[in-house]
Structure 1
């Protein structure tokens, strides 16, 4: 089974997506096709060769280009003196295995190399240039990028300028204050020059926008009409009629000067291109999240080789390389600190503003910022397998994915254009026979075709999905698919695993009760004896003692009583620390302490009794405490109308005591790891269930649930099994995830409503229905063109509002 990614050229609307999808689905061996209008990409899964896909897409009126795994490198070359130097450099670089093509420009002294990064590295290419006797360094090619920016939209600007001139020429005399027009261009005085002037304006505009007509008619002839087809037919009809009118003028029938429709063709085409320009700018904003992630990847790294520091391309970093990270530099690769100490800003990964201290053996992540220290790190992965690369892939996959709700627009778009063409023809025929006016008939025909907009339908879902997943990524919420984003909006039950999810995941000392000693004196004995134990509860006691700054006492004859506690001597003082079983075995009377022990036990805490010299000296309680945000999270979920369930292997009474602290609705206790999935399945009989966990034993339950959410610090298995990954440790992000999902779905529904409403109102208006029923006005084709352009922009603009939502 192959996965092939292709760039699709020529798509302008949802109908285009539908046609391309159907063309690829018709190829034998294709299992699945995802075509995205925003990114102009197709992802194909199946047993099929790229050439078959390219041919099918080409036959349907579009172009497909396979996305290569090659990279482009631009080098600035020095020491060239003639064109023969360029030939010599090209020959030297082409001798390297993995280089696909080389072009050296002797004028601007730049070399452009297309190469396979898995076969040859940047420094190998630079070394080949130097071996030929020349100098070379990387170039960002900023000048050429600026030239592209300057030239990119010149045709749009010229088209709009010519459209304004056309309106001035043809409609300037219609205003209350007539605009001055030279006599030689006055339609009454010199109709032939007036007609020629219109053609001089029209021809450049039509030529600059010829692709609309090429794509439109090609799609029409392939029986897959799209938005370009509507515009091409409508404006083409206006141009053809104007050709007939112009011939009549040149033959002496001057009254035809009032029956030219070139201004409609020019203004419609110019407005549509202008609308597409603004739409593309708006759509670019929807991908800002992914661009910001891509910008986090450093271009170079400083390789430590002995005492030498070498700047290398980031893609040339190999596992095991030692890299230098200076203050103010971003971490070049996922690695382990070998030497040094620093504070690292990990906001890009977790959204947390506070820097994290890193020292020897701590791991660091590509793209995070080294704030103040000098580090040497060892690369643990290559640049294609970093956590940042995984996040980018995850976000891209989600943005290219289709939400189930998009199927509504897809079904409509598949038949939209043919239906509109049919409506336009019927409307034109009706008005011709109703009024006997060919011009009225032509006007209605053009207006219906131009006002119909499948683009708004096609953009309604993907723009919101792209912005929504981008907002999630910026907040440390990584959603793996559009389906998961939609499904999260329907959740009515959230199940939390207890340990490590609702709780911090490790025991801490919560209470100290000292009878005959001070708390510091009691903890001095406890810390000293427990420092000899490896038990997790012992580590919590030692940590608490160290936090309190208690002194250590000498310990001898340490002995661990399995399942009960520890005993030892400090000088001649006999020390015992353990549970009630240990104390009962030693015949201690705990009746005086039973109220405290019972109270702490009911709160889910483990109580340890401390005895010194055969007398009870105090009690210490240890528990895996709830996270600070647990109560806030549960309350927020309740406010969203969501039931909260806690699942744990703890005893029922202990679990209920913990649940009561935060107001959890239902507790499923004494659950074995292999029983979690079946319990989730039972809940799914009546609810849409989101499961939140972090451990390996949560993986099956995460898969079973409608939406599985993994905490970012959790196991790789849990993260792999989940639909959504939260990079912060805060479980309040579960609330943010549901809020994001609901607001994104609300935005999609708004977009679909306005897209459908626009066409439901606009098409009848263009047909002349309002004139027939209410004696209202007819819609001018130029206004229809502007309205059509605005409809797409309004949908994208509405989706962009998601960027400002508060989670």
Structure 2
């Protein structure tokens, strides 16, 4: 279907689905599954993640169904899991598979070790030794190693190949050659060639690869540990109040509007609001902040967080898949399944690697057979087997996805939610950081910064009258003054006849006096005189980008109050750290230039632009991108969504709007600016690990394949033993996994 037709045909209904897959044994399996499913009619995109054992599918449900895709995957030996609770099922299957591999490994060792000892130390000293070794080898190849041959056969039927193809070819050739020399030894002996057998190579290779896979499966499970930990944050049982009685029910039976009792130590099962009670809640799994947050009536609580000291009654608002925790889990799973550019390149290499290796092994065989020393057939066969074994692309295929999975999981633990792998790949490259002002650099809400009274010690009665006026007003500045006074334990006075004046302030009467709160317009309207001292103070406060409010009693100003959106306490230090990384920092705001200048100076930003509309922010980013800048933008509001989408890396602050988070590629679960620094460091550490993994994977193959082919033989007479090749191949995969897991311990 042409792209133009897809865009105009409303009957096309693309769906995105991320599902688990069983049966993948190496990185080239992922490429094989991708290449088999992608050409199918109705399939738009297929992205397979080998370490995560998952596939992300984009398909037109009118042309092809998930069940049809499942059947197609089965044709080449893979099982797509479509059932509910697939993660739980996969965990059970993987545990069972890991256990089964352990048993197969033990059986292979029991039979392979005697074969190895006989071949290495007692060759020619035991009667019927070749027949005994053949008998001991059969259980290893056809029980412990049966999976290699069955998968290789399925692949061959569809003109495909993977690591199992290499293992099956190398061990199969070694075994068949050895069987022929055991049953018909005179065939070669009559030609003057000793009838060598290689049963020990076949069985020890199988044993080493099973050992490698057993260790690899254990290590791979640790790379997705972050997801398992997040899923584990959902409690199994919950206490609810139904018909006035406490009932303990399973987590999945909670309904919307349910009254839930949280006792000390309980994990919160849903997103909701506190109806009654007072407690402190550990929200570190969401925010990354270790300090518990106080919760009382009206406060919001989130699923997965832990109630600490007191008891709380909460009303469930978002349950199941709607909770913030479920969204985080989905986001992390989606990010781990996505692929950066570097992984797509590696996948292409892995996809053609197996056929190239088979070709190289055949060339190696031919060179030894026609030009090598006697016994040529033996040397040719050993070299062919060794090349097939040592060149497995597992380390290459594991290099990128394992590092990404650990990096994305580590980010989730730190409160940095990665939307896709590309953003993690890009973040360390940024050279310009754009910051919104309100809610990003500042707290995003007005707060009282100064309250200056005409008399050194103002009466509590006057403060109570001020609280009475402001508590009745709906203006954000009035709310800020109300919060400030209540925090200072001011008792509200019972005033009369509240009157509000739009754009100016409010008035009340109390015991025959008239009290005003508002700006200079209101004071002038009622002919209230402002003393020169207060006028001077007000001018100084306004220079600091603060809004000044006057409080008067009849014709006398009793106090001036300064309100401002405070700069976050960590802002200046965070910006210094960003600058140390060589990144230019720019502030964009819709506020006026005077306010922008004050905020920029306070946090140490030299470059800023004010009076910008939402579209202006996106246009500015596009303009500097054209000059070659790699741009990250951090913002929290709907007005930032254009800029966040335009930036190479959009960073949504945790307190921001849903639209901002949807537009961004990284979401910080807190509004702490230090997390921007952490996100850049996490990107740098992840990409450094990927480069290390790829370096060692490529170096391993570049060095190992020529040695396996026998390049050192003319110089030193050295030929690599196939058994050593099997051990080296297993070790290369494990070393890549171990290096990726180091990310979990890195200080970010």
In structure 1, C-alpha distance between the alignment counterparts of 2:344 and 2:86, rounded to whole Å: 36
Structure 1 residue 310 displacement after superposition: 3.4
Partner of residue 653, structure 1: 594
In structure 2, C-alpha distance between the alignment counterparts of 1:765 and 1:147, rounded to whole Å: 38
8 A contact 1:565–1:579 mirrored in 2: yes
Secondary structure of the 1:697 match is helix
CA RMSD of aligned residues (A): 3.0
Partner of residue 111, structure 1: none
In structure 2, C-alpha distance between the alignment counterparts of 1:252 and 1:530, rounded to whole Å: 104
In structure 1, C-alpha distance between the alignment counterparts of 2:319 and 2:471, rounded to whole Å: 41
8 A contact 2:517–2:549 mirrored in 1: yes
Partner of residue 539, structure 1: 479
Partner of residue 783, structure 1: 724
Note the 1:190-269 alignment, pairs <5 A.
190-192=126-128, 194-207=129-142, 208-249=144-185, 259-269=196-206
Partner of residue 127, structure 1: none
In structure 2, C-alpha distance between the alignment counterparts of 1:150 and 1:481, rounded to whole Å: 33
**Greater shift in the superposed pair: 324-333 or 631-640:** 324-333
Structure 1 residue 591 displacement after superposition: 4.9
8 A contact 1:765–1:779 mirrored in 2: yes
After TM superposition, the score normalised by the length of structure 1 is: 0.83
Partner of residue 544, structure 2: 603
| Residue 15 (1) aligns with residue 10 (2) | no
**Greater shift in the superposed pair: 628-637 or 700-709:** 700-709
8 A contact 2:528–2:555 mirrored in 1: no
Of 347, 354, 360, 2:291 maps to 354
Of 650, 653, 666, 1:724 maps to 666
Partner of residue 418, structure 2: 479
After TM superposition, the score normalised by the length of structure 2 is: 0.89
Cα 1:275–1:517 shift into 2, 3 Å: same
**Greater shift in the superposed pair: 508-517 or 607-616:** 607-616
Of 453, 461, 464, 2:392 maps to 453
The CA deviation string for residues 392-443 of structure 1, in whole angstroms up to 9 with x for no partner, is: 1111111111111112211211211111111111112112222242111111
Structure 1 residue 534 displacement after superposition: 3.0
In structure 1, C-alpha distance between the alignment counterparts of 2:242 and 2:174, rounded to whole Å: 71
Cα 1:529–1:333 shift into 2, 3 Å: closer
8 A contact 1:643–1:665 mirrored in 2: no
| Residue 24 (1) aligns with residue 40 (2) | no
8 A contact 1:324–1:377 mirrored in 2: yes
8 A contact 2:109–2:207 mirrored in 1: yes
Of 427, 440, 450, 2:379 maps to 440
How many residues are matched? 724
Secondary structure of the 1:225 match is coil
Partner of residue 169, structure 1: 118
Partner of residue 467, structure 1: 406
In structure 2, C-alpha distance between the alignment counterparts of 1:610 and 1:646, rounded to whole Å: 34
8 A contact 1:707–1:722 mirrored in 2: yes
Partner of residue 368, structure 1: 305
Secondary structure of the 1:504 match is strand
In structure 1, C-alpha distance between the alignment counterparts of 2:273 and 2:494, rounded to whole Å: 38
In structure 1, C-alpha distance between the alignment counterparts of 2:610 and 2:181, rounded to whole Å: 85
8 A contact 1:29–1:46 mirrored in 2: yes
Structure 1 residue 210 displacement after superposition: 1.1
In structure 2, C-alpha distance between the alignment counterparts of 1:223 and 1:146, rounded to whole Å: 31
Structure 1 residue 561 displacement after superposition: 4.4
Structure 1 residue 273 displacement after superposition: 0.9
8 A contact 1:633–1:732 mirrored in 2: yes
Secondary structure of the 2:264 match is coil
Note the 1:568-607 alignment, pairs <5 A.
571=511, 575-582=515-522, 586=527, 588=529, 591-592=532-533, 596-607=537-548
**Greater shift in the superposed pair: 584-593 or 3-12:** 584-593
Partner of residue 6, structure 2: none
In structure 1, C-alpha distance between the alignment counterparts of 2:123 and 2:445, rounded to whole Å: 88
Structure 1 residue 735 displacement after superposition: 1.1
Partner of residue 124, structure 2: 188
Note the 1:505-520 alignment, pairs <5 A.
505-518=444-457
The CA deviation string for residues 17-70 of structure 1, in whole angstroms up to 9 with x for no partner, is: 1121111012111111111111322222212123542443344x3223341237
| Residue 67 (1) aligns with residue 82 (2) | yes
Note the 1:96-495 alignment, pairs <5 A.
153-171=102-120, 173=121, 186-192=122-128, 194-207=129-142, 208-249=144-185, 259-436=196-373, 437-495=376-434
| Residue 53 (1) aligns with residue 69 (2) | yes
Cα 1:520–1:38 shift into 2, 3 Å: farther
| Residue 759 (1) aligns with residue 708 (2) | no
Cα 1:336–1:619 shift into 2, 3 Å: closer
Note the 1:556-705 alignment, pairs <5 A.
559-567=499-507, 571=511, 575-582=515-522, 586=527, 588=529, 591-592=532-533, 596-612=537-553, 614-615=555-556, 617-686=558-627, 687-705=629-647
**Greater shift in the superposed pair: 453-462 or 251-260:** 251-260
Secondary structure of the 1:650 match is coil
The CA deviation string for residues 554-608 of structure 1, in whole angstroms up to 9 with x for no partner, is: 7556554443444556556665544444556648466545654343222211123
**Greater shift in the superposed pair: 212-221 or 523-532:** 523-532
Partner of residue 9, structure 2: none
Structure 1 residue 354 displacement after superposition: 2.3
Partner of residue 11, structure 2: none
Partner of residue 126, structure 1: none
In structure 2, C-alpha distance between the alignment counterparts of 1:630 and 1:535, rounded to whole Å: 27
Cα 1:513–1:35 shift into 2, 3 Å: same
The CA deviation string for residues 86-119 of structure 1, in whole angstroms up to 9 with x for no partner, is: xxxxxxxxxxxxxxxxxxxxxxxxxxxx9xxxxx
Structure 1 residue 5 displacement after superposition: 4.9
In structure 2, C-alpha distance between the alignment counterparts of 1:589 and 1:762, rounded to whole Å: 87
| Residue 500 (1) aligns with residue 513 (2) | no
Cα 1:352–1:611 shift into 2, 3 Å: same
The CA deviation string for residues 157-216 of structure 1, in whole angstroms up to 9 with x for no partner, is: 222343333322221x3xxxxxxxxxxxx4434342x11221132111112111112212
Cα 1:431–1:333 shift into 2, 3 Å: same
Cα 1:805–1:313 shift into 2, 3 Å: same
8 A contact 1:709–1:724 mirrored in 2: yes
| Residue 34 (1) aligns with residue 47 (2) | yes
Cα 1:527–1:66 shift into 2, 3 Å: closer
Structure 1 residue 155 displacement after superposition: 1.0
8 A contact 1:520–1:550 mirrored in 2: no
| Residue 707 (1) aligns with residue 649 (2) | yes
Structure 1 residue 532 displacement after superposition: 4.4
Partner of residue 119, structure 1: none
The CA deviation string for residues 458-499 of structure 1, in whole angstroms up to 9 with x for no partner, is: 111110111011001111111111112212222222222211
**Greater shift in the superposed pair: 426-435 or 606-615:** 606-615
**Greater shift in the superposed pair: 456-465 or 313-322:** 313-322
In structure 2, C-alpha distance between the alignment counterparts of 1:235 and 1:639, rounded to whole Å: 56
In structure 2, C-alpha distance between the alignment counterparts of 1:384 and 1:272, rounded to whole Å: 40
In structure 1, C-alpha distance between the alignment counterparts of 2:448 and 2:240, rounded to whole Å: 46
In structure 1, C-alpha distance between the alignment counterparts of 2:699 and 2:86, rounded to whole Å: 45
**Greater shift in the superposed pair: 580-589 or 734-743:** 580-589
Cα 1:677–1:590 shift into 2, 3 Å: farther
In structure 2, C-alpha distance between the alignment counterparts of 1:554 and 1:376, rounded to whole Å: 32
Cα 1:665–1:72 shift into 2, 3 Å: closer
**Greater shift in the superposed pair: 256-265 or 632-641:** 256-265
Q: Unmatched 5+ residue regions in structure 1?
A: 74-113, 115-140, 174-185
8 A contact 1:564–1:581 mirrored in 2: yes
8 A contact 1:611–1:617 mirrored in 2: yes
Cα 1:551–1:318 shift into 2, 3 Å: closer
8 A contact 1:304–1:310 mirrored in 2: yes
In structure 1, C-alpha distance between the alignment counterparts of 2:259 and 2:511, rounded to whole Å: 51
**Greater shift in the superposed pair: 397-406 or 153-162:** 153-162
In structure 2, C-alpha distance between the alignment counterparts of 1:252 and 1:756, rounded to whole Å: 39
